[in-house]
Structure 1
Amino acid sequence: MNGQDQPHGDACRLPGTRELALDPDQLIIDAHHHLYDRPGIRYLLNDMLTDICSGHDVRATVYVQARSMLREHGPEAFKAIGETAFAHDIALACDKAPPEVPRICAGIVGYADLTLGERVRPVLESHMGAGGNYFKGIRQPLAWDKDIELLNPAYPSHPGLLDDKTFRRGFAQLGRFGLSFDAWLFFHQLPRLTALARDFPSVNIILNHCGGVLGTRGYEGQAAQVRTQWLQNMRELARCDNVTVKLGGLGLPMTGLGWPGQGGTPANSQALADIWRPWIEPCIDAFGVTRCMFESNFPADRGSHSYCVGWNALKRIAQAATSDEKDLLFWRNAARIYRLADVSKTITQTPAIQDQTAAPKSR
């Protein structure tokens, strides 16, 4: 089952995870998170706000589909409109709240089955109607591997899906509506994504989670081989100017990266930074600082680390960057790529939400 849909332990509540937020004045747009209520895990607006209030200056977020709040009735293709409507209501409520409240779901990425071909057009129109100006694009998870235990049965895929003519006709509809595509797939599928990006240069493609690193099951003990193939594929993909990459998601169990004290002791940010750096820095080197953005991938990554600790780790990795480069990675790229123009205009004028966990600024 896809690691993003697996219940995780609540690392935020475990002892020893609490850290002071590093560089608390650094503005952040969290470029990737979910909200859902499932057996074993509940993560809704109040949970997100609680995490955000742990010391980092998170001003807005991008909501990404996760089969949550689906319509119970009607055609299957349109059930995901319920999720977009749910996120839209949260975005609207946050906009109407006092200015110091973060703009949760300022951008919404919904789900549509592009294998419908041209018939996906009314689905996209319904998403845009339900999400209004907050709706920015589509994510149809494409992850496939010969090991079915790594797959999420809710999102059927096959090795040739990105080459499928009907899928591509559906993908073409995104360009006609000016919508982006969030790509969640595994590292060995990246060459097919590169071919898709080259054939549709006008569609903005956003690669999720550093390109789908795998390190469990058949990939366990194969880190060197995986890294070599991953790096080669990422460098080739980076030649496509219409592709950007989200830096995060490395706390998913399927990455096999683990964290210190897996037997019950949560990670600290320095240890996470050391583990993540060999995967994040090559992404920045390949795509450049203008085509990368940091993400929390919460609550999917919550089994590895707390929200505060995860952002601390990312800040440690970016420590040597200039102030302008940090702004690009932490919020400006997300605002530009997801077309959050109104957020971008006001983000520097709104007071931060802080609590007593914030450490002194450490630039």
Structure 2
Amino acid sequence: MPAIPPPTLNASRQVAIREAWLDQWREAALDPALPIVDPHHHLWDRDDERYLLEELLQDAASGHDIRATIFVQCASMYRAEGPEALRPLGETEFVNGIAAASASGRYGRMRACAGIIGYVDLTLGDHVAPLLQAHRAAAGPRFRGIRNRTAWHASPEVRSNLVSPPPGPLADPRFIEGAREVARQGLVLDVWAYHTQLPLVASLARAVPELTVVVNHCGGPLGIGPYAGRRAEALAEWRAVVMPLATLPNVVMKLGGLAMEVGGHDFHLKDRPPASATLAEAWRPVVEPLIEAFGAPRCMFESNFPVDKGMCSYGVLWNAFKRLAQGASDAERAALFAGTATRIYGLDPAFAQMA
């Protein structure tokens, strides 16, 4: 058996993937007939990590019924030349090619990247509308929305982006105007913000009530930097700012992203990867209150792969989510695992139907 390398963080402060470490613990899929639409994953080919269709397919072949996936922007395959504002089109074009390959059926039943969330700088004012139209032209109906780089904290220890953004743009009036254009074009806005920024997310949602705002990664409860070793206090602070979002009908919550280094969990430091029961117990104080507050029709489980793969495997992650949803009704489970994602992102309803 090859030696297992020690845990490290890559250039983006994400826990590096160690396949040999993950191979020490595998589980059979719980409730394998339950349809799943994975509404949040990335694809990239970086100097320190490769995660493309081949790797996604390998992870999805975990015994769970993964029907379709949604790609979320990650600054991958931008154009090398041309105007700066148009370079992110390269990512949409690249992912649409992956989606087309998957849609051929050559790689199995799952439809990878059936929805695409791209990047347009929403602070660009009058330029936002034609840029959105260019992405829609590049990907057609697969193009479902936008995400900007918005996660920010004053502590240099708190970072989860490839490029650390300035304190904006959530408070920038131009961002609000850009968000209005997203809504006008019938698109969705995904937002990745730490819990310390959630009041700004609430202000955005109130300012543009016609816009569907999808909050990523449970609203970003922090567990490092100034929050290290203060989990109870951090969760109390998170609850105080995340619960007001549940009162806003245009806000939807993604349940996941809890195996990131910024969340403060240290599963990657153990000799063996965590079992799904361990993950479910660790994540319960975050996931259960969100489902109770938002309701299943406004919640969707997400993998956040390959980012979360540094701490757990794909199959174990979905088993953990299924454990967390054990008390839900059949209708609620159908919404949490496929129905909400299918409806919010305008995918084929067949993806969420039982076989």
TM-score of the superposition, structure 1-length normalised?
A: 0.91
Alignment check: 8 A CA contact 2:68 2:351 kept: no
Alignment check: 8 A CA contact 2:71 2:117 kept: yes
- Corresponding residue for residue 311 of structure 1: 318
Alignment check: 8 A CA contact 2:59 2:314 kept: yes
- Corresponding residue for residue 175 of structure 1: 183
CA separation in 2, counterparts of 1:218 and 1:264? Answer: 27
- Corresponding residue for residue 281 of structure 1: 288
- Corresponding residue for residue 124 of structure 2: 116
Tell me, what secondary structure is at the counterpart of 2:157? helix
Deviation at 1:187, TM superposition (A): 0.1
CA separation in 1, counterparts of 2:319 and 2:351? Answer: 24
Deviation at 1:205, TM superposition (A): 0.4
1:195 and 2:203 aligned: yes
1:32-79 Cα distance to aligned partner (Å, 9 max, x none): 000111122111101111111111000000100111111111111111
1:223 and 2:231 aligned: yes
Deviation at 1:161, TM superposition (A): 2.9
2:301 pairs with 294, 303, 322, which one?
Answer: 294
Over the residues paired in the alignment, what is the CA RMSD in angstroms?
Answer: 2.0
Unaligned runs of 5+ in 1: 351-363
Where do 1:52-91 residues align within 5 Å?
52-91=60-99
- Corresponding residue for residue 55 of structure 2: 47
CA separation in 2, counterparts of 1:109 and 1:298? Answer: 15
Deviation at 1:149, TM superposition (A): 3.4
2:350 pairs with 334, 345, 350, which one?
Answer: 345
1:154 and 2:163 aligned: yes
Amino acid aligned to 1:157: P
Alignment check: 8 A CA contact 1:3 1:300 kept: no
CA separation in 1, counterparts of 2:324 and 2:20? Answer: 21
Tell me, what secondary structure is at the counterpart of 2:124? helix
Amino acid aligned to 2:166: S
Amino acid aligned to 2:274: A
CA separation in 1, counterparts of 2:228 and 2:257? Answer: 18
Aligned length: 346
Tell me, what secondary structure is at the counterpart of 1:58? strand
CA separation in 2, counterparts of 1:257 and 1:281? Answer: 18
1:278-333 Cα distance to aligned partner (Å, 9 max, x none): 11001111111110000000000001000000001001111111111110000000
Tell me, what secondary structure is at the counterpart of 1:150? coil
Alignment check: 8 A CA contact 2:128 2:178 kept: yes
Unaligned runs of 5+ in 2: 1-8
Deviation at 1:154, TM superposition (A): 2.0
Alignment check: 8 A CA contact 1:252 1:300 kept: yes
CA separation in 2, counterparts of 1:137 and 1:93? Answer: 21
Tell me, what secondary structure is at the counterpart of 1:345? helix
Deviation at 1:119, TM superposition (A): 1.7
